[in-house]
Amino acid sequence: MNLDTLIKETAETLRTTEGLETTEVIEEDLGDVAKKIETSVAKTSRCITVGLNGCDHVASERQDGDDPDALYVEANLVVAVFEKPVVNRKDEGAPRLMGMAARIAKAVDGTCAEGMTEAIHFVKITPIQELDRGVITCDVVFRTKNSI
């Protein structure tokens, strides 16, 4: 499995998820994420980022006959949701932070990116945090195991 594929396919899933179609999805491996978040929130009052928050080695996953050079890991996939509620909530139909987080959890849980042998599993939605300029955020956290 290529970890970039995990990010890309998760982002594509979210771009086509009902209720998230008008929210920009930013892949964290594509460059200046902070600037992209700032620009997107200024434009639409919300956005989503998809990235990894590290991998843990899982030595016990190696089976007889597996590639001896493969490294077995548990990848921590994090989808961050950002909203500027003072602007976003003026639009009655706009998706709100926790509603977006719930849609993300449902859309991604159980999916399996190309080349993966185990599905992605939902772990938690983190508490809401307030950032600069009235922007709030939370993370939707997932885990999956595979070899890299």
Confidence of residue 62 (pLDDT cuts 50, 70, 90): low
> Of 86, 135, 113, 99, which is closest to residue 17 (Cα–Cα)?
99
Q: For the residues 9-32, what does the mean pLDDT come to?
A: 92
pLDDT for res 118: 83
Residue 60: pLDDT over 70 = no
Residue 59: pLDDT over 80 = no
Give the DSSP letter string of the chain.
Answer: --HHHHHHHHHHHHHTSTT-TTSEEEEGGGS-HHHHHHHHHHHHSEEEEEEEEEEEE-GGG--TTS-TT--EEEEEEEEEEEE-HHHHTTSTTSPPHHHHHHHHHHHHTT---TT-SS--EEEEEPPPEE-GGG-EEEEEEEEEEEE-
Beta bridge partner(s), residue 102: none
Residue 113 contacts residue 1 (beta carbons within 8 Å): yes
Q: pLDDT digit string (tens) for 74-90? A: 899 999 999 999 998 99
pLDDT for res 5: 87
pTM summary value = 0.90
